[in-house]
Amino acid sequence: MKKTMVDFFKENPTIKYIYFGGKGGVGKTVVAAAVALWMSKQGKRTLLASTNPVHSLSNLFQMDVFGKPVLIPGTDNLYAQEIDTKDTIERSKKEIREKISWFLKYADIPTKADDFIESATMNPAFEESAMFENMTNIIFEDKFEFYVFDTAPTANARRLLGMSKVYTLWVDKMLQSREEARSMRLNLSFRKKKLEEEEDPLLDYLTTFRDRIEKMRVILTDEKKSSFFFVTLLESLPIAVIKRFIGWFKDFGIPIGGVIINQCIDKKQICEDSAEFVLNRCKMQDRYREEVYKSFDNVLGEIPLFEKEVRGLEMVEKLSNALMNQ
Ligand SMILES: Nc1ncnc2c1ncn2[C@@H]1O[C@H](COP(=O)(O)OP(=O)(O)O)[C@@H](O)[C@H]1O
Ligand SMILES: [Mg+2]
């Protein structure tokens, strides 16, 4: 017998954080919303959070859920929030700027702080790290009983996760250099006593940061708490994407919940006289369905392609029923 999404939650009652991955446009946001809605109906105070810069959740629920959790009208326990990444990026930049300026002054390094700050904040990983930071904040605040993260597209999510190891390495290295600079300065100083007692905001910041990232890594890789799900269509590229994605995740030790197939053409609605492109699509889907079941051992459900886009609570509910009542 095939396992369903409901079976998964029954077998894994301690799961508290779930994340959705897959190619752009396959339905991660709508499926995340559908699962979050179901979970909220089980009585769990649920947060559906999006780290995606596009306002996908506001669009889905046709209301502004930007920057803070908003209770979705018509539900008892479902809150949605679009995470304000831009704001976090600005805040982190400011914070890093202050810390670096302080450090350069402290260590008597005659470099313009701007060059340092530029290299620390202008790299492509910075945005992902800000997203990671946001996710971490939400998780550590612990205001909800269940969290659904409508994760950003594939490559980002992978980097996001790989980042935790890189961070720890980077911060440890920074701390080491920092300690060396500090003892050198202490040796050179006549004001030894005073310096020893001086506060060290950069050191504090870096250690706190490393510890947070490590705590986050522990949560992300704990199969009793976290699980990643992948959404695919019955098409070549979305399948290829999640094959690659699942491979990466296995390497990182990230627990994988299963695969969900979206937008399946309902065969009951077609007949011999249906338009040729529909008949062809249907055959194509059959081929790819076979491939999906062959490639992944944990397919947890198929969702039909609806007559219109999924927008508004009613449609989310319809999708939720389709997925959870397999
Ligand atoms: N089963 C479905 N039936 C009809 N439309 C769907 C279905 N699943 C998703 N859609 C539509 O497809 C588009 C992409 O879905 P979305 O959840 O935003 O994808 P992603 O988050 O992966 O980029 C949206 O317009 C959504 O309403
Ligand atoms: Mg989306």
- Closest ligand (CA of 308): 1
Looking at the structure, do residues 170 and 274 belong to the same domain, yes or no?
no
Looking at the structure, do residues 142 and 270 belong to the same domain, yes or no?
yes
Look at residue 172 in the predicted model and tell me its pLDDT. Answer: 81
Q: Which two tokens stand for residue 30?
A: 């709508």
Looking at the structure, do residues 100 and 18 belong to the same domain, yes or no?
no
- Closest ligand (CA of 53): 2
pTM: 0.86
Pocket of ligand 1 (CB under 6 A): 22, 24-30, 56, 262-263, 303, 305-306, 309-311
d(CA 48, CA 151): 10
Ligand 1, atom 2: closest residue by C-alpha: 305
Ligand 1, atom 9: closest residue by C-alpha: 27
3-state helix, strand, coil in the chain (%, to 5): 60, 15, 30
Which residues constitute the domain of residue 108?
88-126+162-215
Looking at the structure, do residues 71 and 110 belong to the same domain, yes or no?
no
Nearest-10 Cα torsion for 278, 284, 290, 296: -100
Looking at the structure, do residues 61 and 192 belong to the same domain, yes or no?
no
d(CA 39, CA 312): 18
Atom of ligand 1 nearest to the CA of 311: 27
The CATH code of the domain that includes 143 is 3.40.50.300
* Strand partners for 66: 82
Domain count, the chain: 2
**In Å, how far are 263, 269, 282 from 276, measured between CA atoms?**
18, 14, 10
Looking at the structure, do residues 32 and 172 belong to the same domain, yes or no?
no
**In Å, how far are 223, 263, 265, 274 from 277, measured between CA atoms?**
43, 15, 12, 8
User: How much distance in Å is there from the Cα of 310 to the middle of ligand 1?
Assistant: 6
pLDDT one-digit tens code per residue, 303-323? 999 999 999 999 999 999 999
Looking at the structure, do residues 80 and 99 belong to the same domain, yes or no?
no
User: How much distance in Å is there from the Cα of 45 to the middle of ligand 1?
Assistant: 25
Looking at the structure, do residues 151 and 261 belong to the same domain, yes or no?
yes
Look at residue 312 in the predicted model and tell me its pLDDT. Answer: 97
Q: Which of 215, 232, 248 is the last residue of a domain?
A: 215
Looking at the structure, do residues 175 and 263 belong to the same domain, yes or no?
no
Per the CB < 8 A criterion, the answer to whether 33 and 243 are in contact is no
- Closest ligand (CA of 241): 1
Q: Which of 215, 242, 258 is the last residue of a domain?
A: 215
User: How much distance in Å is there from the Cα of 27 to the middle of ligand 1?
Assistant: 4
User: How much distance in Å is there from the Cα of 153 to the middle of ligand 2?
Assistant: 8
d(CA 53, CA 151): 11
Looking at the structure, do residues 200 and 94 belong to the same domain, yes or no?
yes
Look at residue 153 in the predicted model and tell me its pLDDT. Answer: 45
Looking at the structure, do residues 228 and 276 belong to the same domain, yes or no?
yes
Looking at the structure, do residues 298 and 172 belong to the same domain, yes or no?
no
Ligand 1, atom 23: closest residue by C-alpha: 25
Binned average pLDDT, 10 residues per bin, the chain of 326 residues: 93 96 93 98 97 87 95 98 85 79 76 71 68 83 96 57 69 80 73 58 75 80 93 98 88 89 94 92 97 97 97 98 96
